[in-house]
């Protein structure tokens, strides 16, 4: 993304970055939502990076110097969040689980971005029979229950369970197949719209090749909505991963920690009143998805001038209540706190 | 396939003026076109699922590989015809599907259609219950949020909607079970009904399979109470997932309609704000809900698989997971294909309903 020289002076790169620029033009409630989202997502990413330092034990550790871990021990003492029926430390597995989730998000979204964008650009630009077939196929996949599709694909790839990278890739690939039609649709629609724009026409007149037009002129314009789709799909990826794990098609506990798998094992514990094995991984899922969704939703709202709240010009005395002033995101963050536990 | 795609293209030039002059003439045509669009959808999914499942190998080895001596296994594979070229098997499978034969499960040797009729009603019941919860929560809350746009109730409800989306069904199910079954003891932990009620239900003449309907029809109110108390928690768990979507949809649409001229006109005539929302802005906002409900069916079926597993609700989803764990891929393939057809047909029906309500949809 080198800055062209002919355009009027722009703001520094930092303020043009997706989330930062949105934060700058947000106000009041929307700003609060965005901040809560960014904080939660940031925590999630930091936890995943520093998991080896944060987690008291390994994700598949069953004993330490003083002997094996007790099973189904209540939170407190040596095991801050208790232990599972298999004797794993709940806190460690929750922390390590973030690493699995981040890896799956990155792999799956990267793959679906690449495939979806490429297919969307080609299909939208060239049209014809290829376009028609791709549209029908994408629509068919789009209408199908995503989890079901993910299950089928994860069986095909890993036949159930597997090693860390095997499991990661089978989950990520299942999620990819689900997402590609979505990216494809959006990019194709944008490409078709852009194809009729004068600047594409003039590029053609100047003799630019199709590849150059697609790569240079259409690609940049058609992919503006991608940060939004990325955040929304990242949260969906986590839910699909957890769903697969919950049904037993995830990653084995000895290969990696996975929240959905832990919830599956915790299901049997609930009837005897053991809550800590399920509640903590569940909260981890909810907070992560919540954070990513809040970021995505806010970006979506802020991109739409009809929905975007506007900064009030000066503090007019007639303004009713002032939580709308940009400096105090108090209102939304209190609601967030009220709703989180 | 080409004919299917070309029909809507040929339409505007030739038929559109005619349908305009005749008024309702477009609907019949729309239904026909929309009906034929089901075929490529189902066809593509069947093809996809078939070849994906064959990538693993033949279903018999997958299900019984370790347990049978190699020669017996080879004989079984030969008998079932799985040693022939994949393309031959594929066309044979397509032929079978057209005659309504979805295959026979390997593990318990039941026709897949029978599995559907036995367990489908339970899934249908769960979906209906969940839909009731979703509508009962989503629409009123959406109206409230729209009326108090950008104020505290709206902020709270929008947050609630996102929370609904962010909570996986199995986690909300687990929390509900923990709170209301284990700690408070208000509702049973799992299942569709207690054993006695299940026996009563299976003894009924011509049961619909939807327990509360059967209980009402037979006038058995103890059974009805039992069934309803079992249904509450799964319905809430699955319903909240969709409730969040409905809430946001109603909110956005009502806010959209509230900006229209006719609302402004009503306001200037002195119609109360409450009445404006509940009478005037509310109805047009419902049309997109019906359309989205069609898309939600797919989401709900996915959610139903998870909900059924969480609550041991013996429906199609629960059964599917059992077959998956038993590596019975004929059963899995059959159920998945059946679900694909159900989703496609539901979307078709929903589109027709949307077209009946809103003539602008018919193109």
Mutate to test the interface with A, among B59, B66, B155 (most CBs of A within 10 A): B155
- Mean pLDDT along residues B304-315: 86
Question: Rg of the Cα trace of chain B?
Answer: 25
Give the model confidence (pLDDT) of A125-141 as tens digits.
887 788 888 888 887 78
Partner residue facing B298 (CB), from A132, A145, A270: A145
Q: Which residues of B touch A260 (CB under 8 A)?
A: 168, 170
**Gap from A156 CA to chain B (nearest CA, Å):** 6
**Bigger pLDDT: B219 or A323?**
B219
Partner residue facing B166 (CB), from A132, A266, A289: A289
ipTM tops 0.85: no
Give the model confidence (pLDDT) of A214-234 as tens digits.
777 777 777 777 777 777 788
Q: Which residues of A touch B163 (CB under 8 A)?
A: 286, 290, 339
DSSP conformation letters of A176-236:
HHHHHHHHHHHHHHHHHHHHTSHHHHHHHHTT--HHHIIIIIIHHHHTTTHHHHHHHHHHH
| The CA-based dihedral angle spanning residues A51, A54, A56, A58, taken in that order and rounded to the nearest 10 degrees | 10
**Gap from A222 CA to chain B (nearest CA, Å):** 26
User: Contact A270/B178, CB-based, under 8 Å?
Assistant: yes
Which of these ranges, A30-39, A198-207, A235-244, B277-286, has the smallest mean pLDDT? B277-286
**Gap from B275 CA to chain A (nearest CA, Å):** 24
Give the model confidence (pLDDT) of B20-56 as tens digits.
444 445 777 878 887 887 888 888 888 888 888 777 6
Q: What is the pLDDT of residue A340?
A: 32
Report which of B111, B15, B41 is spatially closest to residue B298, judged by C-alpha positions: B41
Partner residue facing B171 (CB), from A139, A282, A294: A282
**Most confidently modeled of A119-123, A257-261, A336-340?**
A119-123
Closest chain B residue to A159, measured at CA = B56
Report which of A327, A294, A337, A330 is spatially closest to residue A40, judged by C-alpha positions: A294
User: Contact A139/B41, CB-based, under 8 Å?
Assistant: yes
Q: Which residues of A touch B325 (CB under 8 A)?
A: 248
Closest chain A residue to B309, measured at CA = A247
- Is the distance from CB of A316 to CB of A20 less than 8 angstroms? no
Q: Does residue A250 have a pLDDT over 60? A: yes
Q: Does residue B273 have a pLDDT over 60? A: yes
Which of these ranges, A150-154, B224-228, B247-251, has the smallest mean pLDDT? B224-228
User: Contact A278/B178, CB-based, under 8 Å?
Assistant: yes
Give the model confidence (pLDDT) of B89-117 as tens digits.
888 888 888 877 777 777 777 888 888 87
To the question of pTM greater than 0.80 for the whole model, the response is no
Does A309 touch chain B if contact means CB atoms closer than 8 Å? yes
Report which of B146, B247, B145, B158 is spatially closest to residue A332, judged by C-alpha positions: B158
Q: What is the pLDDT of residue A135?
A: 84
């Amino acid at each position: 993304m080198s800055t062209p020289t002919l355009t009027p002076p722009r703001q520094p790169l930092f303020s043009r970055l997706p989330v930062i620029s949105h934060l700058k033009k947000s106000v009041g409630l929307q700003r609060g939502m965005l901040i809560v989202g960014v904080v939660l997502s940031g925590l999630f990413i930091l936890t995943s990076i520093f998991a080896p330092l944060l987690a008291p034990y390994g994700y598949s550790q069953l004993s330490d110097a003083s002997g094996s871990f007790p099973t189904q021990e209540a939170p407190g003492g040596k095991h801050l969040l208790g232990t599972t029926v298999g004797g794993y430390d709940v806190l460690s597995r929750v922390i390590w689980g973030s690493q699995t989730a981040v890896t799956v998000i990155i792999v799956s979204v990267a793959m679906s971005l690449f495939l979806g964008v490429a297919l969307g650009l080609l299909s939208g630009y060239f049209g014809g029979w290829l376009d028609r077939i791709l549209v029908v196929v994408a629509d068919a996949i789009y209408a199908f229950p995503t989890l079901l599709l993910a299950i089928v694909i994860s069986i095909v790839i890993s036949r159930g369970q597997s090693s860390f990278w095997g499991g990661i890739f089978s989950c990520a690939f299942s999620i990819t197949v689900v997402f590609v039609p979505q990216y494809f649709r959006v990019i194709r629609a944008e490409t078709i719209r852009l194809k009729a724009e004068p600047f594409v026409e003039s590029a053609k007149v100047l003799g630019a090749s199709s590849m150059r037009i697609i790569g240079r002129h259409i690609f940049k314009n058609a992919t503006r909505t991608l940060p939004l789709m990325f955040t929304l799909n990242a949260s969906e990826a986590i839910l699909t991963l957890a769903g697969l794990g919950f049904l037993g098609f995830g990653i084995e506990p000895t290969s990696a920690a996975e929240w959905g798998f832990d919830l599956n094992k915790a299901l049997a514990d609930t009837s005897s009143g053991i809550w800590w094995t399920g509640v903590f991984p569940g909260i981890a899922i909810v907070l992560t998805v919540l954070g990513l969704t809040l970021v995505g939703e806010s970006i979506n709202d802020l991109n739409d001038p009809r929905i975007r709240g506007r900064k009030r010009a000066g503090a007019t005395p007639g303004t009713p209540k002032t939580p709308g002033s940009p400096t105090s995101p108090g209102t939304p963050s209190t609601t967030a706190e009220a709703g989180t536990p | 396939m080409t004919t299917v795609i070309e029909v809507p293209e040929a339409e505007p030039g030739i038929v559109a003026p005619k349908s305009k002059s005749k008024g309702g003439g477009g609907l019949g045509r729309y239904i026909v076109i929309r009906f034929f669009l089901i075929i490529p959808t189902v066809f593509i999914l069947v093809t996809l699922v078939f070849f994906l499942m064959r990538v693993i190998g033949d279903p018999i080895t997958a299900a019984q590989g370790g347990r049978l001596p190699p020669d017996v296994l080879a004989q079984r594979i030969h008998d079932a015809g799985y040693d022939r070229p994949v393309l031959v098997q594929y066309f044979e499978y397509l032929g079978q599907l057209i005659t309504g034969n979805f295959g026979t499960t390997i593990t318990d040797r039941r026709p897949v259609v029978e599995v559907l009729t036995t367990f489908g009603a339970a899934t249908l019941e769960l979906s209906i219950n969940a839909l009731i919860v979703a509508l009962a929560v989503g629409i009123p809350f959406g109206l409230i949020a729209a009326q108090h746009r950008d104020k505290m109730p709206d902020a709270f409800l929008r947050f609630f909607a996102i929370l609904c989306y962010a909570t996986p069904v199995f986690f909300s199910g687990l929390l509900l079970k923990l709170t209301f079954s284990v700690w408070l003891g208000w509702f049973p932990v799992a299942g569709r009904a207690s054993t006695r009620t299940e026996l009563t239900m299976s003894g009924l003449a011509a049961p619909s399979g939807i327990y509360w309907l059967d209980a009402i029809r037979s006038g058995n109110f103890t059974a009805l109470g039992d069934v309803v108390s079992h249904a509450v928690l799964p319905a809430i768990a699955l319903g909240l997932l969709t409730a969040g979507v409905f809430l946001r949809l109603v909110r956005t649409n009502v806010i959209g309609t509230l900006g229209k001229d006719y609302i402004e006109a009503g306001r200037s005539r002195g119609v109360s704000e409450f009445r404006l929302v509940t009478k005037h802005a509310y109805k047009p906002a419902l049309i997109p809900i019906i359309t989205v409900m069609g898309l939600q069916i797919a989401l709900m079926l996915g959610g139903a698989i998870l909900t059924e597993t969480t609550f041991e609700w013996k429906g199609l989803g629960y059964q599917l997971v059992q077959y998956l764990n038993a590596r019975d891929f004929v059963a899995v393939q059959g159920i998945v294909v059946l679900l694909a057809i159900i989703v496609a047909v539901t979307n078709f029906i929903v589109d027709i309903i949307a077209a009946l309500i809103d003539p602008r949809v018919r193109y």
